[in-house]
Structure 1
Amino acid sequence: MAEQAAAVVCVTGASGYIASWLVKLLLHRGYTVRATVRNLSDPQKVEHLLALEGAAERLKLFESDLLIQGSFDSVVHGCQAVFHTASPVALVASDPQKELIDPAVKGTMNVLESCKKASLKRVIITSSMASVMFNYNPLGPDVVVDESWYSDTAFCRDKKEWYALSKTLAETAAREFSEANGLDLITLHPGFVIGPLLQPTINLTSQSFADLISKGKEVWPSGVYRYVDVRDTALAHILAFENVTARGRYCLVNKVIRSSQALDMLTQIFPSLELATVDKKKNDGVGNGSLDDNLPPYKVSKERAESLGVCFTPLEVTFKDTVESLKEKGIIDF
C-alpha cells in the first residue's frame, strides 16, 4: 500500500461529478494527483478541487483539451496510472457527432496516444452501462446483465441513443488501441450515478434525481434506474488500479429499481417530502407490460465489482445523502 499511495496518477476531466470524488479519495489515500480541466480560469472548475484536503501538497491542475492531439503528453508523463473520466454526458444533442461522439472517441484516443508514450502501469477509463445494455437483448426479472453484454451500434443509431453510441464507440476504439499497443486497459461501467455533490454545478444524473423528487419525472422512458453511489464509483476506479489481478470490464450498479420504488423509498426516508406519484399500472417498457413492484425489472451482476473489493453503499444511505446534498446546495427545498 505504501508504494501505491506514493504513486503519481493523472485524472482527466477532474472537475466532473465522479472525477471530483476520485480526486478526493486519491488524495485521502496519499496519492499525488495531476488533474486536467478544460479551463483553469473558471472557478467553478477548480475551486472545489483546490479546497480538497491534501490538494495544496499533492494536487496539480493542468489545462487540456480532449480534441487537441498531444494535449495530455506532459500531464501523463511520469504517472503510474491514468484515470480517463473526461467525456460529455447528454441525453439530447442537436449535433451528436460534434457534441458527443467526437469528444468521446477522439478524446479517448488522444489520451491513449499520450499514455502510449509514457511508462504506465494501467489505464482506467470511465465508461458507462450505456455501452453495455443498449441492444436487442430482452430484459425481464430473470435476466442478469453482466460484463459479457455489449451495446449494439446499429441499435443505438436506430433509437437515436447518441450518448450510448458515443460510449460504445469510445470503448471499442480504446480496447482495440490498447490491445494493439500493449496498454493495460480497464473500463468501468457505472449505472445511474447519484450521491453527494462536490462540484458547485449540478450534473445530469443529480438533476434527474432532483426532478424525480420535485416532479415525479421519469427520466428514462421505462422509468427504470440502475443506481450506484458516486463514492462507490470513485473508489472502484482506485481499486481497479491497486488490484494487480484486475482485468477487462466492470459493471457498477448497486440496484435496479423503478420510479415508483424510488419514490416509495424516498417517502420512507423523508416523510416531509411531498412527492409526486408514479402510475404503477403504466407499462414500464420491460417484459410484457404488466408492472409488478415485487419483481426487479432485471438485475446487473455485482460479482466482478465485488471481486475488486467494492462494497456497495446501501441505497437508502445513498438516497439520504443525495437529498441532503441537493438541499444544502439549494437545488431542492423542503
Structure 2
Amino acid sequence: MLYFSLADTAKTEHLLALDGADERLKLFKADLLEEYSFEQAIEGCEAVFHTASPVKFIVTDPQTELIDPALRGTMNVLNTCKKTSSVKRVIVTSSMAAVIVRQPPLEPNDVVDESFFSDPSVCMETEYWYPLSKTLAENVAWQFSKDNGMDMVFINPGFIIGPLLQPTLNFSVEMIVDMINGKNPFNSIYYRFVDVRDVALAHVNALETPSANGRYIMDGPSMTIYEIKEIMRELFPDLCVADTKEEGEIKEIIYKVCVEKVKNLGVEFTPLKSSLRDTIISLKEKCLI
C-alpha cells in the first residue's frame, strides 16, 4: 500500500501525538505512483526529505511491489521539487542495499565507503529485488540532480533498529523479534544494525550543514547472531530468547565499512547494546513481544 487515509487513526495517531504536533505538523495525502500528488505537501518548502520506499525481500511481483514505487515515486517527488522554486535542498533516503551488491562480491578485507555502488545487473541476476529498487532509484536521483543542478544529499543506512514511533512492526525491527523467537531472518551468521535516532540526526544535519554533499553511508559493526542473542539475554534475563534454528546453507557478505564521512557530519553512532535495549523496551511497551 503506497498511501493511507488521513482518517485512519492507526496510521496517524502516533504522529499527531508527537510534541508540538498541534502547532508544527501537517499531514497530506499523497501517492508515490501519482504524478504531482506531492505538490500540496511540498509547496513553500525549502527542503524535502524523500524517505518513502517499500521494504520487502520476498515478493511475487518485484516490478509492482518494489521497483515502480521506488523509481517512479522518486521521480514524482523530484519533479515536484523542480517545479517548486522555494526548494533549496533535497535529502534522499537510500540504503546500504544500493552500495554492497557487486561483482566480484565483497571480501572480508574490503573497506566499503561512499564510492561503492551496487550493480543493477548483479541485483537482477541474483534476484535481489529490494537492492535493485534502491539502486535504480538512487541512480535516477543522481542523474536528475546533475541534469537539473539540484542540491541533493543521500543517506545510505543499513538495517535500522531502535525505538518505534508507530504501533506496528517495520521490517528491520521485525528482524529482532524473529531473532528472539529463534529465527534467522537472512540465514546469516553476521548482521549489522544502525540506530534510527542516528539516521534521523544524519538527515537533519545533512539539511542544516551547508557543506553537506553526496552520499553518507551508515552501518554498524558486524556482529554474529549469537553475540546479538547473548546481549539480549544479558539485558533482559526474563526475556525468553530462543536458540537459533539453522536452516540450510548460511549466506554471508562480510566486509568492513568506513563511516568517517557521516561522523564528520556530526553523527556519533549509538552502541548496538544501547540500540538493542531501547528496541526491546519499545517492543514491550507496544505489546509487540
In structure 2, the partner of 1:211 is 178
2:284 aligned with 1:327, yes or no?
yes
In the alignment, is the contact (CA less than 8 A) between 2:162 and 2:279 conserved in 1?
Answer: yes
1:101 aligns with 2:58: no
**1:186 corresponds to:** 153
Q: Which structure 2 segments of 5+ residues have no match?
A: none
The aligned residue for residue 115 of structure 2 is 148
Coordinate RMSD, CA, aligned: 1.8
Give the C-alpha shift of residue 275 in structure 1.
Answer: 2.3
Distance 1:239 1:218 in 2: 34
Which of 96, 100, 103 is the equivalent residue of 1:129? 96
Structure with higher strand content: 1
2:18 alignment partner AA: L
**Does residue 303 of structure 1 match 2:238?**
no
Residue 46 of structure 1 corresponds to 12
Moved over 6 A (4+): none
Measured in 1, the distance between the counterparts of 2:149 and 2:210 equals 16
CA–CA distance in 1 between the matches of 2:119 and 2:146? Answer: 21
Shift of 1:284: 4.5
Separation of aligned partners in 1, 2:53 and 2:251:
28
Q: 1:304 to 1:284 in 2, by over 3 A?
A: farther
SS in 2 for 1:40: coil
Q: Report % sequence identity.
A: 50
Could you tell me which amino acid in structure 1 is paired with residue 271 of structure 2?
A: P
Q: 1:172 aligns with which of 139, 142, 145?
A: 139
> CA offset at residue 283 of structure 1?
6.7
Q: Per-residue deviation at 1:145?
A: 1.2
1:82 pairs, out of 48, 68, 81, with 48
- Tell me how far 1:100 sits from its aligned partner: 0.5
Contact 2:103–2:122 (Cα < 8 Å) also in 1: yes
Q: Is 2:270 aligned against 1:313?
A: yes
Aligned mates of 1:247, 1:155 — CA distance in 2: 27
Aligned mates of 2:103, 2:222 — CA distance in 1: 19
Change in Cα spacing, 1:141 to 1:51, as seen in structure 2 (3 Å) is same
Distance 1:61 1:279, change over 3 A: closer
Which letter maps to 1:120?
A: V
Note the alpha carbon deviations across 1:197-240, whole angstroms, 9 max, x for none: 1101111111111111122x221233322200011111110000
Amino acid at match of 1:219: P
Distance 1:260 1:298 in 2: 18
Q: Structure 2: how far apart are the matches of 1:207 and 1:316?
A: 17
Residues 126 and 188 in structure 1, CA contact (< 8 A), matched pair in contact too: yes
Do the aligned residues in 1 keep the contact of 2:189 with 2:252 (CA within 8 Å)?
A: no
- Candidates 223, 227, 240, aligned match of 2:206: 240
**CA shift for structure 1 position 122:** 0.6
Asked if the contact 2:95–2:156 (Cα under 8 Å) also holds between the matched residues in 1, the reply is: yes
Q: Which amino acid aligns with 1:171?
A: E
The offset of 1:278, in angstroms, is 4.2
Listed as ranges, the gaps of 5+ residues in structure 1 are 1-12, 14-36, 288-296
Match of 1:254 among 192, 207, 220: 220
Query: How many residues align structurally?
Result: 286
Q: Is the 8 A contact 2:233 2:239 kept in 1?
A: yes
Letter in 2 for 1:315: L
Shift of 1:276: 2.8
Mapped to 1, the partners of 2:223 and 2:249 lie a distance apart of 15
Relative to structure 1, the CA distance from residue 96 to residue 138 in structure 2 (aligned partners, 3 Å threshold; closer, same or farther) is closer
Distance 2:94 2:160 in 1: 12
CA distance in 1, matches of 2:187, 2:120: 20
TM-score by length of 1: 0.81
The one-letter amino acid of 1:123's match is V
Shift of 1:303: 0.5
